[in-house]
Amino acid sequence: MDKDITIYDIAKGVGVSPTTVSRALNDHPAVNKKTKQRIYEIATQMGYRSNMFASNLRKQRTNTIGVIVPHLNSSFQSSVMAGMEKVATEAGYNLIISQSMGTAEKEIANAKTMFNSRVDGLLVSLATDTENIDHFEPFFKKGVPVLFYDRVAEHKQSTSIIIDNVQAAYRATTHLIEQGCQRIVHITGNLRINVYAHRLKGYKYALIDHDLPFNESLVIVNDLTEEAGIEAASQILAMEPRPDGVFVSNDFCAANCMNALKQAGLSIPGDIAIVGFNNEPITRVVEPALTTIDYPGYEMGEVAVRSLINYLDGLSDISITNTVTLRSELIVRGSSLRKPQV
């Protein structure tokens, strides 16, 4: 393999000192334009590549931001990544993205790799079974900013970027009640994760405010996969009396649950009205189209990176603003609409 071209090689080729080459490549005013031009030409001809990593280390910056996500095969996370990439690119930063596969063990390994890679800051959506955030302590001790988004943890040195999941779930459940549903099932994920715990809370609040009893047997906790949606449909079909509404914490699971219920001969929304969560692409291709909560993933990604860069540039203090809450919206479609919209 050919060795990398250095400033010493360029200096020999031009007939100047390595210091002059270094200054020219950094556009230093002490080097005249004619010499700079000659150095640029020789550097290009020789295939010189600037060692930005070493240069940035001297400046105590790598211009990289680490991102740890539970799963990359999620349209929500893809939307978040797109928002992050846009802002990072505009600001001259690169993203290093890794996935925890939803496990704390992999998340811990990812965090160590990010720390050793000297990222300027870290953005994290926590794994399903993360019980503490001790593996992020090296970042906090070094003053490297850590921001959590979507699946978050509280820490005095960190900011969390979320939507109001309690309010969103309240709105979804209330919509089902307004459509005449009286016995509503809630399908949700691991309740140790903030988003699912808060959505369950919003579901409960809506029932209480509309004088409907909360029934533990109507809460189904699973991993919100395709198989989980089909299994949840079987559980719903076995319930007596049969539920007339379903609020699911994930569109993919909701769509598969709905299809399974339809295959069993039930009418949607006539027999059972259904609401999902996230406004993923699948909501618009199932029949009927799925009512859902629009989760602003792209905006969340933009806000996360912008907040991190503002901190790095000394324009904000992460420890002052511990939570940034973005707005969500209920999008009503055919899967829940039993009554004409006013």
Give 86-145 pLDDT, tens digit per residue: 999 999 999 999 999 989 999 999 999 999 988 999 999 999 888 889 999 999 988 899
Q: Does 151 lie in the same domain as 185?
A: no
Q: Does 170 lie in the same domain as 261?
A: yes
Q: Does 288 lie in the same domain as 173?
A: yes
- Give pLDDT, residue 291: 98
53 pLDDT band, cuts 50/70/90, is very low
- Give pLDDT, residue 342: 54
Q: Is residue 245 a part of any domain in this protein?
A: yes
Of the candidates 106, 111, 138, 119, the residue with the CA atom closest to the CA atom of residue 61: 119
140: left (phi over 0), alpha (psi -120 to 50) or beta: alpha
Give 236-272 pLDDT, tens digit per residue: 999 999 999 999 999 999 999 999 999 999 999 999 9
What's the pTM value of the predicted model, to 2 decimals? Answer: 0.78
Q: Is residue 342 a part of any domain in this protein?
A: no
- Give pLDDT, residue 177: 98
Whole-angstrom distance between the N-terminal and C-terminal Cα of the chain?
71
- CA dihedral (21, 22, 25, 31) positive or negative: negative
Q: Does 321 lie in the same domain as 259?
A: no
Q: Does 224 lie in the same domain as 203?
A: yes
Q: Is residue 57 a part of any domain in this protein?
A: no
Number of domains into which the chain is organized? 3
The radius of gyration computed from the CA coordinates of the chain, to the nearest angstrom, equals 26
Q: Is residue 341 a part of any domain in this protein?
A: no
Q: Is residue 55 a part of any domain in this protein?
A: no
The count of other CB atoms within 10 Å of the CB of residue 158 is 22
Give 10-37 pLDDT, tens digit per residue: 999 899 998 888 888 877 788 888 998 8
CA distance 181 to 217: 17
Q: Which domain holds residue 98?
A: 63-164+297-327
68 strand-pairing partners:
98, 124
Tokens read off for 326: 């973005």
Q: Does 287 lie in the same domain as 187?
A: yes
Q: Does 133 lie in the same domain as 82?
A: yes
Q: Does 199 lie in the same domain as 280?
A: yes
The count of other CB atoms within 10 Å of the CB of residue 187 is 28
Q: Is residue 75 a part of any domain in this protein?
A: yes
Share of the chain above pLDDT 90, in %: 67
Q: Does 178 lie in the same domain as 150?
A: no
Q: Does 280 lie in the same domain as 323?
A: no
Q: Does 291 lie in the same domain as 170?
A: yes
Distance between alpha carbon 219 and the CA centroid of its chain, in Å? 26
Q: Does 146 lie in the same domain as 27?
A: no
Q: Is residue 142 a part of any domain in this protein?
A: yes
The CATH number of the domain holding residue 109 is 3.40.50.2300
Q: Is residue 247 a part of any domain in this protein?
A: yes
Pinpoint the alpha helices (H) of 91-152: 104-116, 137-142
Give 267-297 pLDDT, tens digit per residue: 999 999 999 999 999 999 999 999 999 999 9
Give 57-102 pLDDT, tens digit per residue: 445 678 899 999 999 888 889 999 999 999 999 999 999 999 999 8
149 pLDDT band, cuts 50/70/90, is very high
